[in-house]
Structures are given as structure tokens and as C-alpha cells.
């Protein structure tokens, strides 16, 4: 965490200045620093950050600190979309983890529900149902949490005192509709992109109470 004087102003800075400040902060540790980028695929075609990080020591941006980068993603094809120069610089090692099963998803949801919901606000079948739906499709813990959140929001909108399996079903349908809309919007964006730009893109990269 950068000290207040090292934080970026709300008005922004040129990219070169941002990188210079980042190198200064990292070099100040004078040790090995591990940088974890969750949902690294959200970088999309803006993969310059990965290139800069992977080349920092060779380019002498860092002199007293070594860095390692861990990228976390559910998109197994993400690496294929990176710029070739980024792929060659990363020297990455891939580790794949199996998806969560229904029992593991239930444990995650119960832990979150204890904090997010009032006592007795969930029917007994809500968490097992959320876990079963998500486990049958992806095993993604984030999607399971999104589903529980959506069910709670629907229950609140209907002035219900308890979240039921019916709310989960409605939440599941709503999340699926959202994914379809997002998919169509992405398709339309690609259709509106010219051939040259498409080529460049291809090769570059809480639930409340």
C-alpha cells in the first residue's frame, strides 16, 4: 500500500508517471514482492501491465527488488489472447485447480450467509439449492455467491421475511438472462469492430442485511 503522498491523484497521471511511481514503491521493499492479480483476464487487450511487470528487472526499472506475478483466472484461454511479446516474457507456469463441488460450495455460502443475513432469514433448502445449481453448471464460487445475493435481493424486493427456494429459482433465471444480454452485447461489439482492429484485439490482449 502506497503512503498518502505516493497515491495517485483523482485527476489521473500519464501512464509513464504511474509506472515510475509504482517502481519507486516496489523498489522500496528491497526484497522479493509477490503481486497477485485476481481475474487477470479482465485486463483484456490492455496487457501492457503484464509486459512491464515481466520486464521490470531486465529493463532496470527495479534495482533492489525482485517481483513474481500470480495471475488468477477462470478463463483457460486467456493466455492465448496475450500479445506474443508478453507470452515470451512471462515465463509462466500454469496451475489448474478443480472446480468446487456442491458440498464445498455449501460451506462457502454458509460462511458468507452467517455474516450477510439475519438469523433464520434463509429457508433450510436455500443454500443446498444454490450450491446444486452452480455445481451442475460451473462450480464457480463467485457465481454461487452472486446467486445467493440475487435471491436475497428478490426476497427484499417482495418484502419477504425469509429467502426461499422460489427466490433462488427467480435469481437463477435473472442471472442467466444477464449473461445472455452480456454475450449478445459482446457479439455486437465485435461486429462493429473493423477487420484491422479485430486483428489487433485477437493478438493483444455483498449481500446486505
Given this model, what pLDDT does residue 186 score?
65
Report the CATH superfamily, name and number, of domain 4-90: P-loop containing nucleotide triphosphate hydrolases (3.40.50.300)
Contact 109, 148 (CB under 8 A): yes
* Window from 4-13, 16-25, 137-146 with minimum mean pLDDT: 4-13
Whole-model pTM: value is 0.59
CA 144 to chain centre: 14
- 113 Cβ contact list (under 8 Å, min separation 6): 122, 127, 148, 207
- β partners of residue 36: 70
For 98-131, the pLDDT digits (tens) are 889 999 999 999 999 999 999 999 999 999 999 9
- 33 Cβ contact list (under 8 Å, min separation 6): 26, 65, 66, 67, 68
Domain boundaries, the chain: 4-90, 102-184
Residue 200 reports pLDDT greater than 80:
no
Given this model, what pLDDT does residue 194 score?
47
Q: Does domain 102-184 have CATH number 1.10.8.60?
A: yes
Amino acid at each position: 500500500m502506497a503512503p498518502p503522498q505516493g497515491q495517485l491523484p483523482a485527476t489521473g497521471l500519464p501512464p509513464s508517471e504511474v509506472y515510475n511511481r509504482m517502481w519507486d514503491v516496489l523498489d522500496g521493499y528491497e526484497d522479493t514482492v509477490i503481486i497477485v492479480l485476481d481475474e487477470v483476464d479482465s485486463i483484456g487487450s490492455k496487457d501492457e501491465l503484464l509486459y512491464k511487470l515481466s520486464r521490470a528487472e531486465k529493463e532496470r526499472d527495479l534495482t533492489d527488488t525482485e517481483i513474481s506475478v500470480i495471475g488468477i483466472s477462470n478463463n483457460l484461454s486467456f493466455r492465448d489472447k496475450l500479445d506474443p511479446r508478453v507470452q515470451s516474457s512471462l515465463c509462466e507456469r500454469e496451475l489448474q485447480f478443480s472446480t468446487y463441488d456442491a458440498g464445498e460450495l455449501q460451506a462457502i455460502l454458509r460462511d458468507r450467509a452467517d455474516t450477510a443475513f439475519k438469523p433464520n432469514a434463509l429457508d433450510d433448502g436455500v443454500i443446498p439449492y444454490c450450491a446444486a445449481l452452480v455445481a451442475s453448471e460451473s462450480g464457480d464460487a463467485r457465481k454461487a455467491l452472486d446467486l445467493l445475493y440475487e435471491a436475497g435481493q428478490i426476497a427484499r424486493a417482495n418484502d419477504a421475511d425469509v429467502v426461499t427456494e422460489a427466490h433462488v429459482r427467480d435469481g437463477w433465471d435473472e442471472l442467466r438472462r444477464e449473461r445472455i444480454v452480456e454475450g449478445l452485447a459482446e457479439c455486437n461489439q465485435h461486429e462493429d469492430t473493423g477487420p484491422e482492429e479485430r486483428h489487433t484485439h485477437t493478438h493483444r490482449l455483498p449481500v446486505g442485511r
